[in-house]
A and B are shown apart, each in its own frame.
Chain A
Amino acid sequence: MILRRGARWLDDRLGAASVARTSLAKVFPDHWSFMLGEIALYCFVTLVLTGVFLTFFFDPGTNQVVYHGAYAPLNGARVSAAYASSVRLSFDVRTGLLMRQVHHWAALVFVAAIVVHVCRIFFTGAFRRPRELNWLIGVTLLALSLFNGFSGYSLPDDLLSGVGLRIAYSIALSVPVAGSWLAFLVFGGEFPADQIIHRLFVVHILLVPGVLVGLLAAHIGILVRQKHSQFPGPGRTEHNVVGSKLWPTYATRSVALFCAILAVLFALGGLVQINPIWLYGPFDPAQVSSPAQPDWYIGWVEGALRMYPPWEFRVLGRLVPNPFVPAVLVPAATFGLLYLWPFLEQRLTRDRDAHQLLDRPRDHPVRCAAGAGTLAFYGLLLVTASNDVIARLTRVPVATLTWAGRVVLVAGPPVAAVATYVVVRALRDSGAAGVLQVSSGQLAAAVRATVPHRRRRRAAAAIAGGSEGR
């Protein structure tokens, strides 16, 4: 009764009944992979909620204060206000540590969910017309999320993140022509300038989240306007969406997903320690912790910095420092290619039609190979970012591991791409249900189909007639 009256009151003012009716009847596909983006969305909501709690206690100052609080080993120590308030909110604020750890875990899961979501979109061709716009927005969301993750874990002014900031400063310095100015303007002077924590705080809690909210709204708005794509199946065409209605079935399922994510994040935040800044100690420009690894989503840049050979070159007699290629050009190329992919593929396949039905990954062996090679490259970079830890575990000298890493980084991705191409081709040609159902004969057929005709004939001739075939 009250509900009805409230609805009538609103409709008299907004005339929203028919829009609301259509919206509530919006159909969502039932495939699990369509919930990856929702995982990212709900992690973002968790990040905002726990983050707001943290801002009430965090002080981004770099002025030196004396810590007094429940963490005895630091009691009486002179540390920065940022570090002191981070330790205090972990030990002296009830549920503070829980909120901080849930916030950090949510950030890790957030970026992971985005990456897996991008992979799903990529391998199923969901970025094709008409969804190029949402692909561009999505890639921007990924880039901003990486940046906000970095800016966030740099805030507590502990030793680990302080060294990370120093590396960021050196990367800024490495930019040709404008590097020194760039580093000085961003950091407010020569490292360690006392401005950077405060600036990162404003960027982390206001600027980037604001942009993220705007882009998320656009992302979801475009999704609603364009409606979902879907996998092919009986009754599914290029002109419809088959699945569950938003109200009540899908909405309830989605809220259940939100609750499940919160359950996982609170379990992680409560039980699995993360970023124990009180063990790292406060930042000191002359000190460093070992081993030192960043959060996982920065690992690829860290790996590139570690693996890039000791090459520096000169342009017009000026130095282009070593980090420029691995830490500026590689990320620029990464996101450049991500932005361009839908348009590159349109060029290569000459397929400019609108698609509402998704590809199965096997429908496009070349796309799968490109994706697998790319994932192998970044996965290997992530592994090589821990070459010191691997050296410690395996007792192999770190210099050997560095060289092995360089070789694997060059050779691994092409091998992964070719192997993926062959397997995917075998899947497509044989129609097998899954990778494990492909027989060796079908694989061999795919290899034969992969190697170009002429070369195969030449190879056969070489085998048959010795050197005649050359």
Chain B
Amino acid sequence: MTQGGERPDAGVPAGPRPGAPEGEAGRPVPLRPPRPERRIAAAFGLTAAAAVGFAAVYWLGGQTQLEGVLLAVAFAGLAYGLAAWSARLMPQGPFVEEHEPFGSSRRQRAAFAAEFEEDLQAISRRRFLGRALALAVGTLGAALLFPLRSLGPRPGRALYQTPWRGGAPVVTADGRPVRAADLAVGSVLTVFPRGHLEDGDAAVLLVRVDPGALRPPPERAGWSPDGLVAHSKLCTHAGCPVGLYEQGSNLLFCPCHQSVFDLLDGARPISGPAARPLPQLPIEVTPEGYLRASGDFEGPVGPGFWSRSS
């Protein structure tokens, strides 16, 4: 394949197109226009013009679309010019380069192994020292993992607790207390315990439904006065806020993974990947007509985790 010379592995022209692409061999090569230089120069000229345009647009205050287009044109001009230059005016192969065989010869390998093992003896003969070294490095490595602990606090009970307590006043996202009488049937509100508007696990979806339609389990009979029902807003699947409420069907939708919860049936999941209902928050109406929590959630809110027992 390659022709003689001092470096057989350096690319050498391989005679009359032995590596021509399939199907092309034998066909007449189409005649190319004789002077590609003019078009290449025009492309480079376009690049220079677009570059000047970009600089001018920038100088005059900038305009995103125009800047993008001008830079695109500038680079497209370069791309065309260089591609054409490479294809028309530079040495075309095919060139051939030989592969060196992979893997060393048996003698080289044996020589390497012998030398390496001989030197290794200085280490492997001292068995006891080797073990002591392994102990030292192992202990040091384990000790160096300790600073990882600085990255975060102990989970402790954090995942079980929310800022909701019995008696916590119910407020809106801007901190105003919620009056029971202000909520008509079908209205929905995201509420928080007072003083915890930024907490990740505090958001509660408060909906007023037709009290007769609710089907609460007996132990939660007094949890939703006058059809005011409150559930954690955090999806039990992956923790997204369950942000969509469909008034007619009383269904709650999570926009992240399309879990659907039936509000009337204890926010039980009826479609999508969520496996557990949205925990309910017991609420009551104060003598002044405002809402407050009468206890904590029935269980941990949000996505599941290993240590939870229920």
Q: Are A184 and B152 in contact (CB under 8 A)?
A: yes
Q: Are B255 and A241 in contact (CB under 8 A)?
A: no
Q: Are B255 and A290 in contact (CB under 8 A)?
A: yes
Q: Are B75 and A319 in contact (CB under 8 A)?
A: no
If the complex has contacts A176-B306, A305-B257, are A242 and B69 also in contact, measured as CB distance less than 8 A?
no
Query: Which of B64, B192, B202 has its CB near the most chain A CB atoms (within 10 A)?
Result: B64
Q: Are A166 and B240 in contact (CB under 8 A)?
A: yes
Closest to A168 in B: B238
Q: Which one of B72, B233, B257 contacts A263 once the chains associate, using CB atoms below 8 Å?
A: B72
If the complex has contacts A95-B58, A286-B203, A290-B244, are A319 and B304 also in contact, measured as CB distance less than 8 A?
yes
Q: Are B19 and A188 in contact (CB under 8 A)?
A: no
Q: Which one of B98, B241, B269 contacts A286 once the chains associate, using CB atoms below 8 Å?
A: B241
B290 within 8 A of A: no
A259 within 8 A of B: yes
Q: In the complex, A52 Cα to B273 Cα: how many Å?
A: 40
B35 within 8 A of A: no
Q: Are B305 and A263 in contact (CB under 8 A)?
A: no
Q: In the complex, A171 Cα to B239 Cα: how many Å?
A: 10
Chain B hits for A302, CB < 8 A = 257
Q: Are A253 and B82 in contact (CB under 8 A)?
A: yes
A402 within 8 A of B: yes
B136 within 8 A of A: no
Q: Are B151 and A180 in contact (CB under 8 A)?
A: no
CB 8 Å contact bits of A373-398 with B (1 = contact, 0 = none) = 00000000000000110000000001
B30 within 8 A of A: no
Q: In the complex, A253 Cα to B87 Cα: how many Å?
A: 8
Chain B hits for A243, CB < 8 A = 19, 93-95
Number of interface residues of A (CB under 8 A): 108
Q: Which one of B61, B94, B102 contacts A242 once the chains associate, using CB atoms below 8 Å?
A: B94
Q: In the complex, A290 Cα to B253 Cα: how many Å?
A: 10
Q: Are A270 and B72 in contact (CB under 8 A)?
A: yes
Q: Are B75 and A171 in contact (CB under 8 A)?
A: no
B56 within 8 A of A: no
CB 8 Å contact bits of B133-156 with A (1 = contact, 0 = none) = 000000000000000110111110
Q: Are A310 and B272 in contact (CB under 8 A)?
A: yes
Query: Which of A195, A238, A323 has its CB near the most chain B CB atoms (within 10 A)?
Result: A323
Q: Are A270 and B71 in contact (CB under 8 A)?
A: yes
CB 8 Å contact bits of B233-252 with A (1 = contact, 0 = none) = 10001111101100000000
Query: Which of A21, A22, A253, A310 has its CB near the most chain B CB atoms (within 10 A)?
Result: A310
- How distant is B1 from chain A, measured CB to nearest CB, in Å? 6
CB 8 Å contact bits of A170-182 with B (1 = contact, 0 = none) = 1101111111110
A239 within 8 A of B: yes
- How distant is B201 from chain A, measured CB to nearest CB, in Å? 7
B97 within 8 A of A: yes
Q: Which of B9-17, B111-119, B177-185, B207-215 lies at the interface with chain A?
A: B9-17
Chain A hits for B76, CB < 8 A = 259-260, 263
Q: In the complex, A385 Cα to B120 Cα: how many Å?
A: 56
| Residues from 238 to 282 in B contacting A, C-beta threshold 8 Å | 238-241, 243-244, 253, 255-260, 269-276
Chain A hits for B104, CB < 8 A = none
Task: Give residues in A with beta carbon < 8 Å to B.
Answer: 21-22, 25-27, 30, 94-95, 97-98, 101-102, 130, 163, 166-167, 169-171, 173-181, 183-193, 195, 226-227, 233-245, 248-250, 252-253, 255-260, 262-264, 266-271, 285-292, 302, 305-312, 317-323, 326-327, 354, 356, 387-388, 398-399, 402
Would you list the 9 A-B pairs with minimal beta carbon distance, nearest first?
A270-B68, A321-B304, A235-B18, A290-B255, A242-B19, A256-B82, A286-B203, A259-B79, A170-B303
6 more contacts with CB within 8 A, not counting A163-B256, A183-B155, are A27-B97, A171-B238, A186-B151, A244-B92, A286-B241, A288-B240
Task: Give residues in B with beta carbon < 8 Å to A.
Answer: 1, 7, 9-11, 14, 18-22, 25, 58, 61-62, 64-69, 71-76, 78-83, 85-87, 90-99, 102, 148-149, 151-155, 158-159, 173, 190, 192, 198-203, 233, 237-241, 243-244, 253, 255-260, 269-276, 302-309
